[in-house]
Chains A and B, each alone.
Chain A
Amino acid sequence: QVHLVQSGAEVKKPGASVKVSCRASGYTFGGYYIHWVRQAPGQGLEWMGWINPSSGGTNYAQRFQDRVTVTSDTSTSTAYMEVRRLRSDDTAVYYCARVSEMVYAEYYFDSWGQGTVVTVSS
């Protein structure tokens, strides 16, 4: 059974960085793209970017390209997302999600992590 387990909640000050992890199990980690989606309090879902865990290739939403980096470690089946220069409007729940089919970058998501709450406050 596919499981994506994310790291715990974080509280950061404006201008700091945060790195969220997403550990996968139950499938071949390198075979499926991992995406990151965030949800601000009381708001909808916002796509941030993806990583091909096998090649390390990435693609980001334009608004996050200069502040977000997604990486992966195939030895531990873990994906990471770092957000730099945090602002108060980065306060959100951050989710990792797996696409449903091998080798496809942009697809629907069949498995999601439980979410990581990131609070940015001075």
Chain B
Amino acid sequence: DIVMTQSPDSLAVSLGERATINCKSSQSVLSSSNNKNYLAWYHQKPGQPPKLLIYWASTRESGVPDRFSGSGSGTDFTLTISSLQAEDVAVYYCQQFYNIPLTFGGGTKVEIK
């Protein structure tokens, strides 16, 4: 199984400041056949299901604000919120869909400082 490790477990950021979340996979999720990283990011607000933010490591889902961006390749990935807004308070998860079983990171809780 591919183990997804997120860091930090939680972070508190002031409104308008940058938030950075890291995700590391235990093996590469980069496909040699199409040069795509099989990595997605979601956030989850209390009492709600997860919501897709980013796929292919860096492609923003339709309707997701451009303050959210994803980067990285192979085994190391980053989700950046360039200017934190109050509505961004949530738990953020990375997910690999490179192979079965699909696995998620443990989550990073983002709060307002």
Contact = CB atoms under 8 A, between A and B. Distances in A.
Interface of A: 35, 44-47, 59, 61-62, 95, 97, 100, 106-110, 112-115
B97 A62 contact: no
Interface residues of B, number: 21
B72 to A, nearest CB: 15
Interface of B: 40, 42, 49-52, 55, 61, 93, 95, 97-107
**10 pairs of A and B residues whose beta carbons are closest in the complex:** A112-B49, A108-B40, A47-B102, A45-B104, A108-B55, A61-B101, A44-B107, A44-B106, A106-B97, A110-B52
A59 B100 CA distance: 9
A44 B97 contact: no
Q: Is the interface of B mostly helix, strand, loop or mixed?
A: loop
Contacts of B105: 44
Contact of A108 (B97, B100, B107): B97
Contact of A35 (B40, B61, B102): B102
B102 A106 contact: yes
